[in-house]
Amino acid sequence: MRNTARWAATLGLTAATLCAPLTGPALAAPAAAPASLYAPSALVLTMGHGESAATVNAARAVTLSCAPGPSGTHPAAAPACAELRAAGGDPAALAVPGGAVCTKRYDPVVVTVDGVWQGRRVAYEHVFANECVRNAAESSLFTF
């Protein structure tokens, strides 16, 4: 009988604990995720030989993150981030031909920029006439 009374008391306390209405801190609303001080800015840049990103295998690919500071595998991350900031995150504004003299040989090079710039989706593709023209663009964004 002693074991039965002890068992009944244990079972009653367990049931009371499990079935009791929740009160106090357990009902507190979950804390919202802290907002970042920086909007996400992370890009993947690729380069391949051909006329369209859909038909080209990437010969090179680099990453570029600009918040909170320049980082990634891009060889000129700091200047590329500064140029993107000045262009409002628009890679098309940076594909301006420079003053270099290049041959007119047509050997197309496709550059893509995909990712997020300050929380906004970026999907950009540009075909340069050849490697010289790509390197002559007045932006370090395309020098990888």
Alpha-carbon separation of residue 20 from 25, 26, 48, 79 (angstroms): 14, 12, 64, 61
Residue 122 forms beta bridges with which residues? 115
What is the rounded distance in angstroms from the CA atom of residue 45 to the CA atom of residue 53? 12
Q: What is the pTM of this model?
A: 0.69
User: What pLDDT, on the 0 to 100 scale, is given for residue 5?
Assistant: 46
What is the rounded distance in angstroms from the CA atom of residue 95 to the CA atom of residue 90? 10
Name the CATH topology of 42-142.
Answer: Subtilisin Inhibitor (3.30.350)
**Residue 114, both tokens:** 């995909």
Per-residue pLDDT of the chain (144 residues; tens, 9 = 90+): 454 444 444 444 444 444 455 454 555 555 554 455 667 889 999 999 999 988 888 899 999 999 888 999 999 999 999 999 999 999 999 988 877 889 899 999 999 999 999 889 999 999 999 999 988 888 899 888
| Contact of 60 with 47, CB cutoff 8 Å | yes
User: What pLDDT, on the 0 to 100 scale, is given for residue 7?
Assistant: 41
